[in-house]
């Protein structure tokens, strides 16, 4: 089985879909000759040509808007917004157009559009190029939101996103592009709306997304040394949410930590905490702990950036708080 990086896994899903299906094409800033700012689409221009690998002007509104138009005409476009910070510019297209057409046309129109984007701190890109804004889209009926954390997940979920008849905002994490995993040639599509249990445990459930899945797994290793058994669950799809998997896990462990790189306040973890407290109230033995970035724009100075975003030790501390006893 070939070993693919997260970056190559994204490219593989795009390429396999484009080989099989003429309706699939990609658009975005500098994705053709340059291969995208993160190198995801490198080499695809050579294979598929400029009609299907299209450079766009620097206008996120136009990128998403033309993607919506193509989708409504029956194509399955995958558009790239270079940094998720720039989704703000295309917000009108995503929230008021893509998400609404199917509903407002009484189902006569479909918008099978995938909006790929990436972000995340950890390489000091400054306050306007490192945010995690996935939670903003989860509250928009009509959108699906995916945030994959491993090469196999990103490939299988991107495939499902492309073939979903609804607009999907597809988040990738900058720091995960180098992550490698052995994958079969054949893509195994992963259903949207299905969580993944990365590690089973008895004492605490950590529900983590994106980069924090890996931080949570590292924290779980350490907690294990201290005698605390941690279950790590990645929802993978934020909308729709696999509530059963999360609630089922918490009912088993009786404690829950939510973890993501986005700011804690109004982060996706808040929704998880609400779901858990409501559906597993009588199973909770400790308050749901939240792990996320501090409430500040991301600093440019690397040491400060490190300070603001959460790491494995933050997850570990949260785990310890949930099992804490007085005098220990």
Partner 1 sequence: MTLSGTVPDGDCPSIRGTVPAGGCPYNRTAVSMADEVKLPRLGQGMESGTIVKWLKAEGDQVEKGEPLYELDTDKVTQEVEAEATGVLLKITVAEGEADVGTTIAVIGRQGEDVSALEGETAQAVAETAQEEGSPGAAREAERERGREATASEQVTEIRQPSGGNGAGARIKASPLARRIARERGIELGSLKGTGPEGRVVAEDVERAAAGAPAQPTVTRPAAPPGEVERIPLTSVRRTIARRLTEAWQAPAFQIAMSADMTRAQQLHAGLAEQAKEGEPKPTVTDILTKACAAALMRHRGVNALWAEDAIELHPNANVGIAVAIEAGLVVPVIHQAEGLTIAELAAARADIVTRARESKLRQEDLDGGTFTISNLGMFGVEQFVAVLNPPQAAILAVGAIEAKAVATESGFDSRPLMTLTLTCDHRALDGATAANFLRTVKAFLEEPGLML
163 or 283: CB nearest partner 1: 283
Residue 1: is it exposed, middle or buried by C-beta count within 10 angstroms (0-12/13-18/19+)?
A: exposed
Q: Are 204 and 224 in contact (CB under 8 A)?
A: no
Catalytic residue flag (residue 172): no
Output the CA torsion 304→306→308→314 (10° steps).
Answer: -140
- State the Rg of the chain over Cα: 20
Q: Give the closest residue to 77 by CA, choosing from 88, 66, 85, 86.
A: 66
Length of the chain: 328
Quote the least distance from Cβ 248 to partner 1, whole Å: 14
Q: Give the closest residue to 230 by CA, choosing from 321, 326, 316.
A: 316
30 or 243: CB nearest partner 1: 243
1 or 281: CB nearest partner 1: 281
Eight-state DSSP code of residue 324: -
Catalytic residue flag (residue 80): no
* Residues making contact with partner 1 (CB under 8 A): 254, 281-286, 321, 324-327
Q: How far is CA 107 from CA 103, 111, 113, 165, 166, in A?
A: 6, 10, 15, 11, 11
Quote the least distance from Cβ 147 to partner 1, whole Å: 29
Q: Are 228 and 203 in contact (CB under 8 A)?
A: yes
Quote the least distance from Cβ 212 to partner 1, whole Å: 24
283 or 300: CB nearest partner 1: 283
Eight-state DSSP code of residue 82: S
Quote the least distance from Cβ 228 to partner 1, whole Å: 13
90 or 253: CB nearest partner 1: 253
Quote the least distance from Cβ 286 to partner 1, whole Å: 6
Q: Which of 101, 129, 214, 260 is catalytic?
A: 129
Tell me: cis bond preceding 289? Omega within 30 of 0 counts.
no
Quote the least distance from Cβ 277 to partner 1, whole Å: 8
Enumerate residues 6+ apart whose C-beta is below 8 A from 45: 32, 33, 35, 53
66 or 277: CB nearest partner 1: 277
Quote the least distance from Cβ 291 to partner 1, whole Å: 17
Distance separating alpha carbons of residues 232 and 170, to the nearest angstrom: 22
Q: Are 213 and 220 in contact (CB under 8 A)?
A: no
227 or 325: CB nearest partner 1: 325
Q: Which of 60, 84, 134, 271 is catalytic?
A: 60
Enumerate residues 6+ apart whose C-beta is below 8 A from 94: 64, 87, 115, 137, 140, 143, 167, 169
Active site residues: 60, 129
């Amino acid at each position: 089985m070939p070993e693919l990086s997260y970056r190559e896994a994204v490219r593989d899903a795009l390429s396999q879909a484009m080989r099989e299906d003429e309706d699939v094409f990609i658009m975005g800033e500098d994705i053709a000759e340059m291969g995208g700012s993160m190198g995801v689409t490198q080499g695809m221009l050579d294979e598929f040509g400029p009609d299907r690998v299209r450079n766009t002007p620097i206008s996120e509104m136009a990128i998403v808007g033309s993607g919506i138009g193509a989708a409504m005409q029956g194509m399955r476009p995958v558009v790239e917004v270079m940094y998720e910070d720039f989704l703000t510019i295309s917000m009108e297209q995503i929230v008021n157009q893509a998400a609404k057409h199917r509903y407002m046309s009484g189902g006569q129109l479909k918008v099978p559009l995938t909006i790929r984007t990436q972000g995340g701190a950890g390489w000091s890109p400054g306050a306007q190029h490192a945010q995690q804004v996935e939670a903003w889209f989860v509250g928009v009926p009509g959108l699906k939101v995916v945030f994959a954390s491993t090469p196999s997940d990103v490939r299988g979920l991107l495939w499902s996103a492309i073939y979903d008849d609804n607009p999907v905002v597809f988040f990738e994490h900058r720091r995960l592009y180098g992550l490698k995993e052995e994958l079969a040639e054949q893509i195994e599509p992963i259903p949207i709306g299905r969580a993944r249990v990365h590690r089973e445990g008895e004492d605490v459930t950590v529900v983590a997304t994106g980069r924090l899945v890996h931080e949570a797994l590292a924290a779980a290793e350490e907690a294990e040394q201290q005698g605390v058994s941690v279950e790590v669950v990645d929802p993978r799809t934020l909308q729709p949410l696999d509530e059963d998997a999360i609630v089922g896990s918490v009912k088993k462990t009786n404690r829950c930590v939510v973890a993501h790189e986005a700011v804690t306040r109004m982060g996706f973890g808040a929704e998880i905490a609400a779901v858990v407290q409501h559906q597993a109230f009588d199973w909770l033995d400790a308050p749901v702990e939240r792990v996320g970035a501090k409430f500040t724009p991301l600093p440019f100075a690397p040491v400060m950036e490190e300070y603001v975003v959460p790491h494995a030790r933050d997850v570990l501390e949260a785990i310890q708080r949930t099992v804490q006893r007085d005098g220990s």
